[in-house]
Amino acid sequence: MKIVRVQDIIGTEREVSGPGWTSRRMLLKKDGMGFSFHETIIPAGAELNLWYKHHLEAVYCVAGNGTITDKATGETHEISDGTLYALDKHDQHTLRGGTEDMRLICAFNPPVTGSEVHDEDGAYLPDTSED
Ligand code: 9YT
């Protein structure tokens, strides 16, 4: 059994930030669960264009507020405590922070390894490492 506490991740290599996001990688591929599990903070007012071409992602909001726009349909959905979005079609999307920092709990299938970089489309490249 593994016990992971977010306070032990903050300030380590498992806490990663980019423009408009900070993510604490609580479980990565190497943790052997078959998915990765993240706490992501989106600051108020941030705007992120994302497209996980090679991953499925479910995201559950537990605090704060914001919106997600589905770029395929142009539809925008409100996000607040208790809202989950599932990117079941590798959906291209824009995530916007609202009036309060959003705290999101995210799971990725296949798991993120931790060494991905966002490409020019906001995607992560596929994992080509050996298991
Ligand atoms: C909100 C969202 O897509 N979070 C994903 C996790 C983050 N991009 C990471 O850990 O790299």
Ligand 1 pocket mutation, candidates 36, 112, 116, 121, criterion most atoms within 8 A of CB: 112
How many Å separate Cα 48 from the centre of its chain? 11
Confidence class for position 22, pLDDT limits 50, 70, 90: very high
According to the model, what pLDDT value does residue 118 have?
Answer: 60
pLDDT digits (tens, 9 = 90+) for 51-100: 998 899 999 999 999 999 999 999 999 999 999 999 999 999 999 999 99
Strands (E), the chain: 15-18, 21-27, 36-42, 47-50, 56-63, 65-70, 76-80, 84-87, 93-97, 102-109
Ligand 1 contacts (CB < 6 A) are 16, 23, 25, 38, 40, 50, 57, 59, 104, 106, 112
pLDDT digits (tens, 9 = 90+) for 28-46: 999 999 999 999 999 999 9
**Structural domains of the chain in order of their starting residue, each with its CATH number:** 6-109 (2.60.120.10)
- Work out which ligand 1 atom sits closest to the CA atom of 50: 3
